Amino acid sequence: MNRQAQSAVLFLLGASLLHAATTDLYLRYVKQGLRPLVLVAGAVLVAAAVATVWYERKRARRQKEHAADHAESHESHEDHGNQESHESHVAHGSHEAHDSHEAHDRAHDSHEAHDSHEAHEDHSHREPRISWLLVLPLLALILVAPPALGSYSATRTGTALQEPLAYPALPAADPLSLSLVDYAGRAVYDHGRTLRHRQVRLTGFLALDRDGTPYLVRMALNCCAADAQPVKVALTGQVPPVLQPDTWLRVTGTYVPRRAEDPVNGGPIPFIQVTAAKPVAAPTDPYDESWNS
């Protein structure tokens, strides 16, 4: 991969990052708060590509000027050497002419050695072929738009529910819209004290356990989709009769003091008594960030 190819790959990769960050595509890879960093990374790559092109053009122009100067100097040496050889042969004899020829030959050899050194430097600075691997993330960004993690990952990964640092007061809205992670944390670690006698509304996608237990799930993440882990709430009550995994539901219900153990890691899974449920479109940001908020 030469410098021109490198700059093209850098430019396309940077442009792809900028495109992802200016749309909702970046949410498939990282959490919403990292958008500025994705924008900065894309801008840096584009700037690096432009700088590489500028440097290569400047170096090519400098080499061209050097080659022209060398050719002119070479011709001047030949003319001067021929003239000195002729004059020396006429005036001082063949011995001094021979010395002049030797001096000219030494100068010519010096120029050839300099050219050989420059050629060797150009050859030694060629980039390794492994640099073509830079094309792989570019192709992944351009050609593949991965779906958000869903029920397949949720049923094969244990719940990642963590105890909240605090339990802020809840608004008086009815029904109360909560993130699924917030509801699960309050239900398990606060024993539902702030949830009792409240209508709660949760949104998540469906996952079915091996025994058919329906879960409402959101994938919580620390940084990016690679570290996303599920938080699960089991459904009981007026659950829809036909359940399709990965269907997004908006569930309205009430807290019940019931728990189950996750069959994968034994983690706690709270329940919600469903009073109403309806399918909804997948949200723009499918991941729940309240885990670390």
The reply to whether 168 and 278 lie within a common domain is yes
Last residue of a domain, one of 143, 171, 206: 143
Overall domain count for the chain: 2
Considering the chain, what is the average pLDDT of its residues? 77
Query: Are 179 and 64 in a shared domain?
Result: no
CB atoms within 10 A of CB 25: 16
Could you read off the pLDDT of 22-60 as tens digits, one per residue? 877 766 777 777 778 888 888 888 888 788 888 878 877
pLDDT tens readout for residues 98-111: 454 454 455 445 54
More confident residue, 78 or 265: 265
- How many other β-carbons are positioned within 10 Å of the β-carbon of residue 27? 20
pLDDT at 72: 66
Residues 134 and 160 in one domain: no
**Domain end residue (candidates: 98, 127, 143):** 143
For residue range 260-279, what is the model confidence (pLDDT) as tens digits? 999 999 999 999 999 999 99
Q: What is the pTM of this model?
A: 0.63
What does the pLDDT read at residue 94?
A: 47
Domain that holds residue 253: 151-292
Residue 191 sits in the same domain as residue 235: yes
Q: Give the other-Cβ count within 10 Å of 76's Cβ.
A: 10
Residues 199 and 79 in one domain: no
Last residue of a domain, one of 143, 168, 200: 143
189 CB-contact burial (10 Å; exposed 0-12 / middle 13-18 / buried 19+): middle
Q: Looking at per-residue confidence, does 111 or 3 come out higher?
A: 3
Least confident stretch, 6-20, 196-210, 252-266: 6-20
Same domain membership, residue 233 and residue 172: yes
Q: What is the pLDDT of residues 131-156, one digit of tens each?
A: 677 677 667 666 666 667 888 888 99
Same domain, residue pair 137 and 8: yes
Say if residue 164 is in the same domain as residue 278: yes
Q: What band does 93 get if pLDDT is binned at 50, 70 and 90?
A: very low
Q: Are residues 25 and 83 in the same domain?
A: yes
188: CATH: 2.40.50
